[in-house]
Amino acid sequence: MMLRLDAAGAPQIVGVKRLTEYLRRKLETDDHLRRVAVRGELSNFRVMPRGHLGFDLKENDALLSCFAFADDAARFPGLRNGIAVVATGSVQLYAARSTCQLLVRDIRLEGVGDIQQLFEERKRKLAAEGLFDAERKRPIPRYPFRVALVSSRGANGAIDFETILRARAPHIAVAWCDTSVQGPNAAGEIVGALHRASSLDVDVIVVTRGGGRFEDLFVFSDEGVVRAVARARHPVVSAIGHTIDQQLCDFAADVHLETPSAAARALGPDLHELRARIDDRLGRLRSDGRRTLQRLGARFELALMRSKLSDPALFLAPLAQRLAETEAALGARSENGLQRRRDALRALERRLDARDPSRALAARGTALQAARFRLDNAIAARFARSARTVSEAGTRLLPAVRRLSERSQQRLSLASAHLEGKSPEAILQRGYAIVEHRGRIVRDPAEVTLGATIVARVARGTLSARVEATHVDDDQRIG
């Protein structure tokens, strides 16, 4: 296929598939691109389900997508984001996304890339200041009721976190501290969001976002972001991306979890599991109380059987009294413990009932019914107006159609008469003849040789004649 301009200079129109095939063949036939070695910093490294590798090579602001089959990848050295490599392969066009990529056949390590070097320098500096020390880590509340979420409302990671938390623990309130999580201004916005989260009355702060390229996640290794995480007023949970590569804010946070979903599951114990745990604790408390009473009763009976006093009642009276008091105290303590747990459970149930969606749905149902009534009235009124409009238009349309039909019939008659006057039969009727030679109409005498037989068609038949002479008018000669 060739791409060209037409005579008017307009470009040739082609389909997307045809253009991509043209570009693919151009790349495959370029000898310089069949085997090329490219130096760059490894980024967005990922292992696919069948063992194939995908990654980017980065140099300043330039990115090159790369792909390697599992058989070739098995020979590669250990790879990770941030290292500098030289990748050898061929440049191809990936038609599914119309992007150029390097099909890598071999990789050679060259050392640490610029981003990884900056990462290591910051890590050493902040670690020396004690920001990553285990001693300064704070415990996360076992049952939090308010969580400040530092993330972007449109980020997949934040959406996953909130969805799972609502499903598992709807009693936990989420206070959004919205911020961008990628781009040149993201670091400053994240620091501001962490300051806002520290001023809220919450139990824990969650910093999260979904997966992405290593350089996109690198904003969470910004020195200002790491310091803001370290000095946050509340315990901080960091759940950045879906990759094994940790960012520096993961080291500074009180708890690091690999994914936003894992953070939601860690902070929000399933409500059904929590109720089952409370029921289990109450059951064990009752069983322990019964076993304690049985044990004390057995000891009392044994002491009674072993007593050698002449009047055991005098000896047993204080013990019986003490046993009765202990039994009463134990019963009261058990009942108080049970009552406290019942009160806590009722409080949780009241909080859950207050967030029962059925009330909001009922209110919205009433509003929807009223809106539906108004809509039905509006549709009926609109239908009536449309019916009147159609009726009036029909009344005006019939005379207009008749007038249009009459004018069209007149134009057709005139055109038919005009066409009839120009037909060959009408011309023959005026005395003209059509001359043919060998089945072709003769327009130039030079087309017929002397002695040839010609046929002249007139209005009422044909005439045959032999050519005796020819003459061509001088003013009709060409050239």
**CATH number for the domain harbouring residue 228:** 3.40.50.280
Residue 392 inside a domain? The answer is no
Q: pLDDT averaged over the chain?
A: 81
1 confidence band (pLDDT: 50, 70, 90): low
Residue 371 inside a domain? The answer is no
Query: Is residue 136 domain-shared with residue 96, that is, in the same domain?
Result: no
Residue 389 inside a domain? The answer is no
How far apart CA 180 and CA 187 sit, in angstroms, is: 8
How far apart CA 144 and CA 204 sit, in angstroms, is: 7
| Alpha carbon 285 to chain centroid, angstroms | 50
Residue 106 has pLDDT above 70, yes or no: yes
Residue 391 inside a domain? The answer is no
Query: Is residue 445 domain-shared with residue 324, that is, in the same domain?
Result: no
Residue 241 inside a domain? The answer is yes
What is the arithmetic mean of pLDDT over 176-202?
Answer: 91
Query: Is residue 89 domain-shared with residue 123, that is, in the same domain?
Result: no
Query: Is residue 260 domain-shared with residue 277, that is, in the same domain?
Result: no
Query: Is residue 203 domain-shared with residue 238, that is, in the same domain?
Result: yes
Query: Is residue 260 domain-shared with residue 162, that is, in the same domain?
Result: yes
> Among 69, 91, 112, which residue terminates a domain?
112
What is the arithmetic mean of pLDDT over 68-82?
Answer: 85
Residue 79 inside a domain? The answer is yes
Residue 135 inside a domain? The answer is yes
The DSSP bridge partners found for residue 41 are: 58, 84
Residue 430 has pLDDT above 60, yes or no: yes
Q: Put residue 131 in one of left, alpha, beta given phi > 0 → left and psi -120 to 50 → alpha.
A: alpha
How far apart CA 194 and CA 200 sit, in angstroms, is: 10
Query: Is residue 128 domain-shared with residue 238, that is, in the same domain?
Result: yes
176 confidence band (pLDDT: 50, 70, 90): very high
Tell me: the pLDDT tens digits for 36-53? 889 888 888 888 888 899
Looking at the 3D structure of the chain, how many domains does it have?
A: 4
User: What count of residues does the chain have?
Assistant: 479
Residue 370 inside a domain? The answer is no
Tell me: the pLDDT tens digits for 374-412? 888 888 888 888 878 877 777 877 777 788 888 888 888
Starting at the edge strand that comes first in sequence, how are the strands of the sheet with 453-458 ordered? 440-441, 434-437, 453-458, 461-466
Query: Is residue 130 domain-shared with residue 260, that is, in the same domain?
Result: yes
Query: Is residue 169 domain-shared with residue 108, that is, in the same domain?
Result: no
Query: Is residue 288 domain-shared with residue 147, that is, in the same domain?
Result: no
Sign of the C-alpha dihedral, residues 170, 173, 179, 182? negative
> Among 64, 95, 112, which residue terminates a domain?
112
What pLDDT sits at residue 479?
41
Query: Is residue 143 domain-shared with residue 225, that is, in the same domain?
Result: yes
Structural domain boundaries, residue 73: 16-112
Residue 368 has pLDDT above 90, yes or no: no
> Among 338, 353, 368, which residue terminates a domain?
353
CA distances (Å), origin 365, targets 354, 358, 368, 371, 377: 18, 10, 5, 10, 18
- 185: amino acid identity, one letter: N
Query: Is residue 125 domain-shared with residue 229, that is, in the same domain?
Result: yes
Residue entry with tokens 């009674």: 304
